Amino acid sequence: MEGPIHMDHADEMYTDEDAGPDPRLFVASVARALRILESFDGGRRTLTIAEISQATGLGRSATQRFVYTLHQLGYLRRDGSSKHYRVSAKAIDLALSLIGSHTYAERVAPVLDMLAQKTGETVAWVERDDIDIVILRSIPSKHLSSVNLPVGQRFAALSASSGQVLLAHAPIEEILRVYKNSMVHARERFGLSDNEGILRYFEDVRRRGLSITEKMEDVDSISLSAPVFAGRDEPVGAINISTLKSRFSKLQAERKLSVDLIAAAREASQMVSR
pLDDT for 219-274, tens place per residue?
Answer: 689 999 999 998 777 899 999 999 999 999 999 999 999 999 999 999 999 988 87
Fold of 7-93: Arc Repressor Mutant, subunit A (1.10.10)
Superfamily of domain 102-273: GAF domain (3.30.450.40)
Residue 209 scores a pLDDT above 90: yes
Q: How confident is the model at residue 218 (pLDDT cuts 50, 70, 90)?
A: low
CA dihedral 71→74→80→82, nearest 10 degrees, is -40
Mean pLDDT of 35-46: 77
Q: What share of the chain is helix, strand, coil (3-state, %, to 5)?
A: 50, 20, 30
What mean pLDDT is reported for the chain?
Answer: 86
Q: How confident is the model at residue 14 (pLDDT cuts 50, 70, 90)?
A: very low
Dist. CA 63–CA 38, nearest whole Å: 13
Q: How confident is the model at residue 7 (pLDDT cuts 50, 70, 90)?
A: very low
Dist. CA 131–CA 188, nearest whole Å: 15
Residue 18 scores a pLDDT above 70: no
Q: What is the CA radius of gyration of the chain?
A: 21
Lowest model confidence (mean pLDDT) among 9-18, 35-44, 105-114: 9-18
CA angle 226, 227, 230 (to 5 degrees): 150
Polymer length in residues for the chain: 274
Residue 13 scores a pLDDT above 50: no
Residue 5 scores a pLDDT above 50: no
Residue 159: CB atoms within 10 Å: 21
Q: How confident is the model at residue 9 (pLDDT cuts 50, 70, 90)?
A: very low
Decide which of 102 and 112 is more confident: 112
In the chain, where the domains are located? 7-93, 102-273
Give the percent of the chain with pLDDT over 70: 87
Mean pLDDT of 160-183: 96
**pTM score over 0.95:** no
Residue 33 scores a pLDDT above 60: yes
Mean pLDDT of 72-79: 88
